[in-house]
Amino acid sequence: MELLSPREAAAFALSLLDLTNLRDDCDNAAIEKLCLRAQTPNGHTAAICIWPRFVAHARSILGPEHVVRIATVVNFPFGDLPVAEVVEETRRAVADGADEIDLVIPYRKLIARDEAAVTEMVEAVRAACPQSCLKVILETGELKDAALVRRGSELAIEAGADFIKTSTGKVAVNATLEAADIMLRAIRDSRKRVGLKPAGGIGTVADADLYLRLAETVMGPNWIMPSTFRFGASGLLDDILAVLNGNTAPRASTGY
């Protein structure tokens, strides 16, 4: 990847950001603030990512234009709800105005080698939101094993995922470069147009740049765009804006 200046990397990361508030204490006021923050003088984020109960309120604020897309989470965060319940949750979210669905797979069942449960869940939710972008969360920090991360990626892609996503941000280990590398290689090998969303623990432009470089190394030049790559983060926007506005020296990578 051509070496980007910190400002260039920050501007690129801004266009790929799913600005997230999945805090337990989130309320309507926080959603209003999030929608405003997503529309910066330097450009807008790709999406906001919020709890399903706030989708209708966010849509009323952002309007019908879909410039900033609305993503919401289902089967979140533990991945242990019945398929029928998740399907209903998905349908309600779409009816309320969600553009994108971030689905947690039943990852504990995958750990127990019940691959059919993963396929059933993803296929059912895919069918429930045929026009929506479906991002499938593997919870890679809980899968731990590289072979399981690879297999989870393959199952999600085969079942109709538009993106595969590392993490919920609710466990001890979230996005890592190692997991992202495995997932990118699964995407490449599938020969399908599927995106990657690393999420959780990405807090600086320097962190983001590491993932961008990895994606270009695996997928080739010009692959990265909002339809193929997103960052899921709550704190990354602060560093992006600080770099773009020249208010502070770029912060070093926080690691992963």
As to burial, measured by CB atoms within 10 angstroms (0-12 exposed, 13-18 middle, 19+ buried), residue 63 is: exposed
18: left (phi over 0), alpha (psi -120 to 50) or beta: beta
Active site residue 197: yes
Active-site residue flag, 102 = yes
Residues 73/93, Cβ–Cβ less than 8 Å:
no
Q: Whole-angstrom Cα distance, residue 3 to residue 1?
A: 6
Residue of 99, 102, 162, 209 marked active site? 102
Task: Catalytic residue, from 18, 96, 165, 239: name it.
Answer: 165
Nearest alpha-carbon partner for 72 in 119, 57, 229, 36 = 57
Eight-state DSSP code of residue 180? H
DSSP structural state of residue 38:
T
Crossing angle between the packed helical segments 115-128 and 146-158, to the nearest 10 degrees? 40
Catalytic, 238? Answer: no
Residue among 18, 96, 162, 197 flagged as catalytic? 197
120 burial (CB, 10 Å; 0-12 / 13-18 / 19+) is: middle
Cis peptide before 250 (omega within 30 of 0): no
Please list the residues that pair with 71 across neighbouring strands.
49, 100
The residues carrying an active-site annotation are: 102, 165, 197
